[in-house]
Each structure stands twice: as structure tokens, then as C-alpha cells.
């Protein structure tokens, strides 16, 4: 274990805290969840930076990093689902993609292959994280200014539009990942 891997593991712990604070759904808990999410997202950047900069890239890190991303994103999306902010079909599509890709990675590891994240997968993660930041911002603002028509518009129109984009990017990145790794997958 090295520092980047510890940072990755800390992201998983932070993910569960973020989810719990989101579910409390009051101004204090949402701000706390938002800050925890920002912290977790920063560890995602930091662990990769340290690993590359100080030559600490490891097979464990290549496997754990995307799993930590999934735990963070899916945990928050499940909390948003429980609060009625996003629809179940969105979570199902995102979860299906994540479980399929994670399953492929685990099978690959079992066969001696380490399949790292692809560029589209990184774009997917960035768009999901940006979407979560947007939703937290709108939720916090809606608690602060419950009568605001602008905030209502951002909530009612902005969140669904953003989630459509995220679903499309998520699905496309999964299809791309399977296509690029098809030769390895055929060996399963």
C-alpha cells in the first residue's frame, strides 16, 4: 500500500459519509455533503497526480481508483434517488454500466490483465462529478431561497437535462470500453 492507494480508500469512506449527509436533506447536511464530495473528488485528482509524479502507479491503484469513483458517484446518486431528485431509470442505467465494466475488470484481473480507465471513462467520471456538484448547488440554493423562480427552473429543467447528458456519456463510455477491450474479453 502506498499514499495514492490510501487516498483512494479514503474516498470510499468519504463516499458513505457524503451519502448519509445527503439523506438528512437539510441546509447544514447538504453543505456538509457537498464539501465532502468536493474533498473526495479532490482525492481522485490527488491520488492520480501523486502516483504518476512519484512513480507510485500500482496495479492495486489501477483497480481501486475506478471502484472508489463508482462507490462515490453511485452512493450520491442513490441518495438523490431516495430524495426523489432523480429517476430510478437513470440510476439503473448508470449502475448497470458500472457493474458491467467492474465485472469485466475483475475477470481481466483474474486472467492476468489490468484494464485501466480509458479517456471516455475519465470524461464520464468528470461529467458525473460535475453533475453531482450542480445538483448539490441547486439543492442548497433551493433550501436558501425556496421561493426563487430561477432556482426552481434550475431544479426542474436543469437537473433532468444534465442527467440525460450524463446517461448518454455513461452509456457511450461503457460501450466504448467494451469495444476497445473486446479481444481481451473474448478470452474470458
pLDDT digits (tens, 9 = 90+) for 110-119: 788 777 677 8
pLDDT at 123 over 80: yes
Phi-psi region of 84 (alpha: psi -120 to 50; beta: other; left: phi over 0): left
**What is the pTM (predicted TM-score) of this model?**
0.90
Average pLDDT over residues 92-99: 95
Sign of the dihedral defined by the CA atoms of residues 124, 50, 59, 71, in that order: negative
Question: Which pLDDT value is given to residue 41?
Answer: 93
* CA 112/CA 97 separation, integer angstroms: 22
Query: Cell for 111?
Result: 486472467
C-alpha cell at 57: 502507479
Count of residues in the chain: 188
The pLDDT value given to residue 125: 87
Predicted confidence at residue 38, as pLDDT, reads: 97
Q: How many domains does the chain have?
A: 1
| Structure confidence at residue 156 (pLDDT) | 97
Alpha-helical (H) ranges within the chain are 3-24, 27-53, 59-82, 88-110, 119-144, 149-153, 159-180, 182-186
Of all residues in the chain, what percent carry a pLDDT higher than 90? 74
pLDDT at 122: 84
Domain with 145, as residue range(s), is 3-186
Q: Looking at residues 132-152, what average pLDDT do you find?
A: 97
Q: For residue 26, give the CATH number of its domain.
A: 1.20.120.1760
Amino acid at each position: 500500500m502506498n499514499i495514492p492507494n490510501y487516498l483512494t480508500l479514503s474516498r470510499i469512506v468519504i463516499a458513505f459519509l457524503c451519502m448519509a449527509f445527503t439523506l438528512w436533506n437539510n441546509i447544514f447536511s447538504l453543505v456538509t455533503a457537498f464539501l465532502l464530495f468536493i474533498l473526495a473528488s479532490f482525492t481522485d485528482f490527488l491520488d492520480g497526480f501523486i502516483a504518476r509524479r512519484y512513480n507510485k502507479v500500482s496495479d492495486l491503484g489501477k483497480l481501486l481508483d475506478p471502484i472508489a469513483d463508482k462507490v462515490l458517484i453511485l452512493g450520491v446518486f442513490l441518495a438523490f434517488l431516495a430524495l426523489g431528485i432523480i429517476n430510478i431509470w437513470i440510476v439503473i442505467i448508470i449502475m448497470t454500466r458500472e457493474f458491467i465494466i467492474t465485472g469485466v475488470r475483475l475477470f481481466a484481473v483474474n486472467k492476468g490483465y489490468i484494464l485501466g480507465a480509458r479517456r471516455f471513462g475519465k470524461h464520464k467520471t468528470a461529467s458525473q462529478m460535475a453533475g453531482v456538484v450542480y445538483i448539490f448547488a441547486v439543492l442548497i440554493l433551493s433550501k436558501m431561497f425556496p421561493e426563487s423562480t430561477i432556482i426552481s427552473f434550475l431544479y426542474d429543467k436543469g437537473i433532468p437535462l444534465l442527467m440525460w447528458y450524463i446517461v448518454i456519456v455513461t452509456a457511450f463510455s461503457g460501450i466504448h470500453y467494451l469495444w476497445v477491450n473486446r479481444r481481451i474479453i473474448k478470452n474470458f
